[in-house]
Structure 1
Amino acid sequence: MRRILIVGSAGAGKSTLAREVAGRLDLPLVHLDRHYWRPGWIPADDADFRTQVAALAARPSWVMDGNYASTLDLRLPRADLLVLCDPSRLVCLARVLRRRWVHRATSRPDLPAGCPEQIDLGFLRYVWRYPARSRPRILAALAAAGTRPAFRRLRTPAETRAFLATLPVEPPAG
């Protein structure tokens, strides 16, 4: 496995899992939020973002976290493994609220500078609606992909621990 794509709802644990997997496998880590957002939560231009994601996906190895359904067609054919972090919506909401509290005075490491953690009603609705709206789009994109990567769906902390147990604890030498 040289290219691992990690997707899921906000608060699902994508970035945390991506950091752990990248460290264990000694692979470059790509947080798509760092490439999409500009200071002040200004989104990247769609065409520029697609170009950037295409270049990132073309690299020989990576662990990439982020949904961005508009770029799945660029990432899925290159991925060796797609991991869907899929805890319940209540777990995701609780984690989002906890994350906001923890990062109230600092920036998260998976976000660019100038994008302080924030929560509004629209964001909470997105998290709540993720299972009905966004997850089906990801699964449909996977089903439609010409070259399908291996697929893992992680719903619980136990499933995540079991997945991580299949990976080396120490980075490979070399």
Structure 2
Amino acid sequence: MEKIIVTGVSAGAGKSTFARKLGEALDIPVYHLDSYYWKPGWMEAPEEEFIKAQNELTAKEKWIIEGNYSSTLSVRTEPADTIIYINQPLYKCLYRVIKRRIKFHNKSRPDIANGCPEKLNWKFIRFIMSTYKRRKESLPEHFRTISMKDMNKSVYIFENDREIESFLVKFKRGSKVQSLPGSAQKSKLKK
């Protein structure tokens, strides 16, 4: 467990917080894709630049890469040894997006480029709501397929905060990392 991607059903699923906690527990650097995709003033990075940045990150010895960006997902899934997918309910994602907007009013989040003060608009809310169902149904199946094709990849699908916390408790800072027992991993894949 040294090359990990953390992705989720939507903005507000808890990807950044989870990745940060896991990085601290495993002593592995965490890279947030939002900080590579967004330039100051909410300008999008050119696709080639964004892909190049991800290729540079995945060439490192150890990493946790957090973010969705499904158009470049294969750039991260191919070299990853662990895929973690957070599949929270829509109401919780929306609540957290609103809470994040209030918390970082007129400020940039720590997981995004400076010069991108937190914002929330109807376009973003509509995006979350219009993509949620498709992603909730298709992405877990996509990751199950990956795990069946490559038995060296561990795939964890978390449906709620209790499962997330239970997973994080298994790791202590500085301890030798071991995967969860096979039955725990497989139980997540059956859902």
From 151, 158, 167, the equivalent of 1:154 is 158
Give the superposition deviation at 1:138. Answer: 3.4
How many equivalent pairs are there? 172
TM-score normalised by length of structure 1 = 0.90
**Structure 1 residues 27 and 12 mapped into 2: Cα distance closer, same or farther (>3 Å)?**
same
Give the superposition deviation at 1:125. Answer: 1.6
Q: Structure 1: how far apart are the matches of 2:61 and 2:124?
A: 34
Q: Structure 2: how far apart are the matches of 1:60 and 1:116?
A: 32
Contact 2:107–2:116 under 8 Å retained in 1: no
Q: Structure 1: how far apart are the matches of 2:59 and 2:97?
A: 31
Q: Which residue of 1 aligns with 2:76?
A: 75
Q: Which residue of 1 aligns with 2:25?
A: 24
> Percent identity of the aligned residues?
34
Q: Which residue of 1 aligns with 2:55?
A: 54
> Aligned letter for 1:79?
A
Q: Which contiguous aligned blocks of 4+ residues in structure 1 show a shift greater than 4 angstroms?
A: none
Give the superposition deviation at 1:71. Answer: 1.4
Give the superposition deviation at 1:147. Answer: 3.8
TM-score normalised by length of structure 2 = 0.83
Give the superposition deviation at 1:120. Answer: 1.0
> Aligned letter for 1:153?
I
Contact 2:34–2:112 under 8 Å retained in 1: yes
Q: Which residue of 2 aligns with 1:165?
A: 169
Q: Structure 2: how far apart are the matches of 1:98 and 1:85?
A: 18
Give the superposition deviation at 1:15. Answer: 0.4
Q: Structure 2: how far apart are the matches of 1:22 and 1:31?
A: 12
Structure 1: gaps (5+ residues): none
Give the superposition deviation at 1:29. Answer: 0.8
Structure 2: gaps (5+ residues): 177-191
> Aligned letter for 2:69?
Y
Q: Structure 2: how far apart are the matches of 1:129 and 1:115?
A: 24
> Aligned letter for 2:37?
Y
Farther-moved stretch of structure 1 (89-98 vs 45-54): 45-54
CA deviation string 1:78-97 (max 9, x = no partner): 11111111110000000000
> Aligned letter for 2:4?
I
